[in-house]
A and B are shown apart, each in its own frame.
Chain A
Amino acid sequence: DQQVKQNSPSLSVQEGRISILNCDYTNSMFDYFLWYKKYPAEGPTFLISISSIKDKNEDGRFTVFLNKSAKHLSLHIVPSQPGDSAVYFCAASATTGNQFYFGTGTSLTVIP
Protein backbone atom coordinates (compact mmCIF):
# COMPACT_ATOMS: atom_id res chain seq x y z
CA ASP A 1 0.00 0.00 0.00
CA GLN A 2 1.87 3.04 -1.33
CA GLN A 3 0.95 5.98 0.89
CA VAL A 4 3.26 8.38 -0.95
CA LYS A 5 3.26 8.47 -4.73
CA GLN A 6 5.31 10.16 -7.38
CA ASN A 7 3.49 9.52 -10.62
CA SER A 8 6.18 10.83 -12.98
CA PRO A 9 9.13 8.42 -13.15
CA SER A 10 11.17 10.90 -15.17
CA LEU A 11 11.35 14.56 -16.15
CA SER A 12 13.60 16.45 -18.59
CA VAL A 13 14.10 20.20 -18.36
CA GLN A 14 16.33 22.70 -20.14
CA GLU A 15 19.04 24.37 -18.09
CA GLY A 16 17.83 27.67 -16.63
CA ARG A 17 14.15 26.70 -16.73
CA ILE A 18 11.94 25.63 -13.84
CA SER A 19 11.75 21.99 -12.74
CA ILE A 20 8.53 20.95 -10.99
CA LEU A 21 8.42 17.61 -9.25
CA ASN A 22 5.14 16.36 -7.83
CA CYS A 23 4.16 14.10 -4.98
CA ASP A 24 0.79 12.89 -3.69
CA TYR A 25 -0.07 11.23 -0.41
CA THR A 26 -3.08 9.41 0.96
CA ASN A 27 -2.65 9.51 4.75
CA SER A 28 -4.26 12.63 6.26
CA MET A 29 -2.20 12.09 9.45
CA PHE A 30 1.00 13.02 7.62
CA ASP A 31 2.20 16.41 8.84
CA TYR A 32 5.88 16.56 7.91
CA PHE A 33 7.16 16.30 4.36
CA LEU A 34 10.65 16.12 2.96
CA TRP A 35 12.45 16.01 -0.37
CA TYR A 36 15.63 14.02 -0.95
CA LYS A 37 17.99 14.01 -3.89
CA LYS A 38 19.94 10.89 -4.84
CA TYR A 39 22.90 10.53 -7.17
CA PRO A 40 23.90 7.04 -8.37
CA ALA A 41 26.09 5.12 -5.89
CA GLU A 42 25.32 7.62 -3.10
CA GLY A 43 22.76 7.74 -0.33
CA PRO A 44 19.81 10.17 -0.50
CA THR A 45 20.67 13.73 0.55
CA PHE A 46 18.14 15.82 2.47
CA LEU A 47 17.10 18.88 0.47
CA ILE A 48 14.18 20.67 2.06
CA SER A 49 11.21 20.00 4.31
CA ILE A 50 7.85 21.51 5.18
CA SER A 51 5.47 21.03 8.07
CA SER A 52 1.72 20.98 7.68
CA ILE A 53 1.33 24.37 9.39
CA LYS A 54 2.92 26.00 6.33
CA ASP A 55 2.06 25.94 2.64
CA LYS A 56 5.44 27.06 1.32
CA ASN A 57 9.09 26.78 2.29
CA GLU A 58 12.03 28.21 0.36
CA ASP A 59 15.73 27.47 0.47
CA GLY A 60 17.73 29.12 -2.28
CA ARG A 61 16.73 27.68 -5.64
CA PHE A 62 14.43 25.12 -4.01
CA THR A 63 10.84 25.78 -2.95
CA VAL A 64 8.39 23.23 -1.63
CA PHE A 65 4.65 23.85 -1.82
CA LEU A 66 2.08 21.95 0.21
CA ASN A 67 -1.62 21.71 -0.61
CA LYS A 68 -3.15 19.85 2.32
CA SER A 69 -6.68 19.75 0.94
CA ALA A 70 -5.41 18.06 -2.23
CA LYS A 71 -2.83 15.98 -0.32
CA HIS A 72 -0.25 17.18 -2.78
CA LEU A 73 3.20 18.66 -2.55
CA SER A 74 5.61 19.88 -5.17
CA LEU A 75 9.26 20.83 -5.39
CA HIS A 76 10.24 23.74 -7.63
CA ILE A 77 13.84 24.19 -8.71
CA VAL A 78 14.61 27.56 -10.28
CA PRO A 79 16.79 27.93 -12.25
CA SER A 80 17.56 24.30 -13.02
CA GLN A 81 21.22 23.37 -13.42
CA PRO A 82 22.85 20.27 -14.93
CA GLY A 83 24.11 19.32 -11.45
CA ASP A 84 20.50 18.97 -10.37
CA SER A 85 20.19 15.84 -12.53
CA ALA A 86 19.41 13.11 -10.01
CA VAL A 87 16.54 11.04 -8.63
CA TYR A 88 14.28 12.99 -6.27
CA PHE A 89 12.28 11.26 -3.56
CA CYS A 90 9.53 12.81 -1.50
CA ALA A 91 8.87 11.44 1.97
CA ALA A 92 6.21 11.95 4.60
CA SER A 93 5.71 11.20 8.26
CA ALA A 94 3.19 11.70 11.04
CA THR A 95 4.31 13.10 14.38
CA THR A 96 2.19 10.40 15.99
CA GLY A 97 4.15 7.79 14.05
CA ASN A 98 7.77 6.75 14.03
CA GLN A 99 8.82 6.28 10.44
CA PHE A 100 9.05 7.97 7.08
CA TYR A 101 7.22 6.84 3.96
CA PHE A 102 8.97 7.36 0.65
CA GLY A 103 7.66 7.88 -2.85
CA THR A 104 9.02 5.89 -5.79
CA GLY A 105 11.18 8.74 -7.06
CA THR A 106 11.38 10.98 -10.13
CA SER A 107 14.52 10.99 -12.25
CA LEU A 108 15.28 14.58 -13.27
CA THR A 109 17.54 15.32 -16.23
CA VAL A 110 18.59 18.92 -16.78
CA ILE A 111 19.77 19.41 -20.35
CA PRO A 112 22.61 21.92 -20.86
Chain B
Amino acid sequence: DTEVTQTPKHLVMGMTNKKSLKCEQHMGHRAMYWYKQKAKKPPELMFVYSYEKLSINESVPSRFSPECPNSSLLNLHLHALQPEDSALYLCASSQVVSSYNSPLHFGNGTRLTVT
Protein backbone atom coordinates (compact mmCIF):
# COMPACT_ATOMS: atom_id res chain seq x y z
CA ASP B 1 0.00 0.00 0.00
CA THR B 2 1.24 3.44 -0.90
CA GLU B 3 1.42 6.07 1.85
CA VAL B 4 0.64 8.81 -0.66
CA THR B 5 -2.96 8.63 -1.82
CA GLN B 6 -4.12 10.15 -5.08
CA THR B 7 -7.68 10.56 -6.36
CA PRO B 8 -9.16 9.93 -8.80
CA LYS B 9 -7.24 7.01 -10.33
CA HIS B 10 -8.57 7.80 -13.79
CA LEU B 11 -10.01 10.99 -15.23
CA VAL B 12 -11.37 11.77 -18.67
CA MET B 13 -12.11 15.40 -19.35
CA GLY B 14 -12.98 17.60 -22.28
CA MET B 15 -10.93 20.63 -23.24
CA THR B 16 -13.47 23.02 -21.72
CA ASN B 17 -13.84 21.20 -18.40
CA LYS B 18 -12.51 22.18 -15.00
CA LYS B 19 -11.36 19.35 -12.76
CA SER B 20 -9.04 18.80 -9.80
CA LEU B 21 -6.58 16.11 -8.83
CA LYS B 22 -6.09 15.44 -5.13
CA CYS B 23 -3.17 14.08 -3.13
CA GLU B 24 -2.85 13.28 0.56
CA GLN B 25 0.00 12.06 2.75
CA HIS B 26 0.15 11.43 6.49
CA MET B 27 3.85 10.80 6.91
CA GLY B 28 4.54 14.27 8.31
CA HIS B 29 6.46 15.21 5.18
CA ARG B 30 6.91 18.93 4.59
CA ALA B 31 7.65 18.79 0.86
CA MET B 32 5.13 17.79 -1.78
CA TYR B 33 5.51 17.53 -5.53
CA TRP B 34 3.56 17.18 -8.73
CA TYR B 35 5.14 15.22 -11.58
CA LYS B 36 3.86 14.42 -15.06
CA GLN B 37 4.85 11.20 -16.76
CA LYS B 38 4.30 10.19 -20.37
CA ALA B 39 4.73 6.63 -21.60
CA LYS B 40 8.34 5.42 -21.70
CA LYS B 41 9.58 8.74 -20.29
CA PRO B 42 10.92 9.69 -16.85
CA PRO B 43 8.76 11.65 -14.42
CA GLU B 44 8.88 15.35 -15.27
CA LEU B 45 8.77 17.81 -12.37
CA MET B 46 5.94 20.37 -12.44
CA PHE B 47 5.68 21.95 -8.98
CA VAL B 48 7.29 21.71 -5.55
CA TYR B 49 5.77 22.88 -2.28
CA SER B 50 7.95 23.31 0.77
CA TYR B 51 6.21 23.97 4.09
CA GLU B 52 3.03 24.72 2.14
CA LYS B 53 4.69 27.40 0.02
CA LEU B 54 5.31 27.01 -3.70
CA SER B 55 9.07 26.79 -4.14
CA ILE B 56 9.42 25.53 -7.71
CA ASN B 57 7.24 26.05 -10.77
CA GLU B 58 8.94 24.44 -13.73
CA SER B 59 7.48 26.83 -16.34
CA VAL B 60 4.20 24.95 -16.30
CA PRO B 61 1.34 26.48 -18.35
CA SER B 62 -1.24 28.39 -16.33
CA ARG B 63 -3.94 25.87 -17.24
CA PHE B 64 -2.37 23.83 -14.40
CA SER B 65 -2.85 25.49 -11.00
CA PRO B 66 -1.46 23.88 -7.84
CA GLU B 67 -2.76 24.42 -4.34
CA CYS B 68 -1.48 23.24 -0.95
CA PRO B 69 -4.27 23.79 1.61
CA ASN B 70 -2.22 22.24 4.44
CA SER B 71 0.86 20.14 5.02
CA SER B 72 -0.98 16.88 4.22
CA LEU B 73 -2.90 17.90 1.11
CA LEU B 74 -1.94 18.89 -2.40
CA ASN B 75 -4.32 19.69 -5.24
CA LEU B 76 -3.81 20.28 -8.93
CA HIS B 77 -6.58 22.30 -10.59
CA LEU B 78 -7.02 21.73 -14.31
CA HIS B 79 -8.74 24.05 -16.77
CA ALA B 80 -8.82 24.25 -20.57
CA LEU B 81 -6.37 21.40 -21.05
CA GLN B 82 -5.12 20.18 -24.40
CA PRO B 83 -5.04 16.57 -25.65
CA GLU B 84 -1.24 16.60 -25.32
CA ASP B 85 -1.70 17.06 -21.56
CA SER B 86 -2.92 13.47 -21.36
CA ALA B 87 -0.48 11.67 -19.07
CA LEU B 88 -0.01 10.03 -15.69
CA TYR B 89 0.09 12.72 -12.99
CA LEU B 90 2.10 11.69 -9.97
CA CYS B 91 2.11 13.24 -6.54
CA ALA B 92 5.09 12.69 -4.27
CA SER B 93 6.28 13.77 -0.87
CA SER B 94 9.56 13.85 1.02
CA GLN B 95 10.60 14.83 4.52
CA VAL B 96 12.09 18.08 3.30
CA VAL B 97 12.99 19.66 -0.02
CA SER B 98 16.75 19.73 0.61
CA SER B 99 16.63 16.17 -0.66
CA TYR B 100 19.72 14.62 0.92
CA ASN B 101 18.70 11.33 2.53
CA SER B 102 15.09 12.32 1.93
CA PRO B 103 13.72 10.12 -0.85
CA LEU B 104 10.55 10.84 -2.73
CA HIS B 105 7.52 8.72 -1.93
CA PHE B 106 5.10 8.55 -4.83
CA GLY B 107 1.39 7.95 -5.06
CA ASN B 108 -0.05 5.64 -7.72
CA GLY B 109 -0.97 8.54 -9.92
CA THR B 110 -4.01 9.80 -11.79
CA ARG B 111 -4.27 8.67 -15.41
CA LEU B 112 -5.62 11.74 -17.21
CA THR B 113 -7.11 11.66 -20.70
CA VAL B 114 -8.06 14.92 -22.37
CA THR B 115 -10.53 14.56 -25.24
* A→B interface (CB under 8 Å): 4, 9, 31-32, 34, 36, 41-46, 49, 51, 89, 91, 93-95, 97-100, 102-105
Complex Cα distance, B103 from A99, in Å, reads: 11
Say yes or no: B107 contacts A49, CB within 8 Å: no
Complex Cα distance, B97 from A94, in Å, reads: 11
Q: In angstroms, how far is the closest chain B Cβ from the Cβ of A97? A: 7
* B→A interface (CB under 8 Å): 2, 4, 6, 40-43, 45, 48, 50, 55-56, 90, 92, 97-101, 103-109, 111
- Given A102-B42, A104-B41, also A93-B106 (CB < 8 A): no
Say yes or no: A43 contacts B98, CB within 8 Å: no
- Given A51-B101, A99-B45, A100-B99, also A105-B106 (CB < 8 A): no
Chain B residues whose C-beta falls within 8 Å of the C-beta of A102 in the assembled complex: 42-43
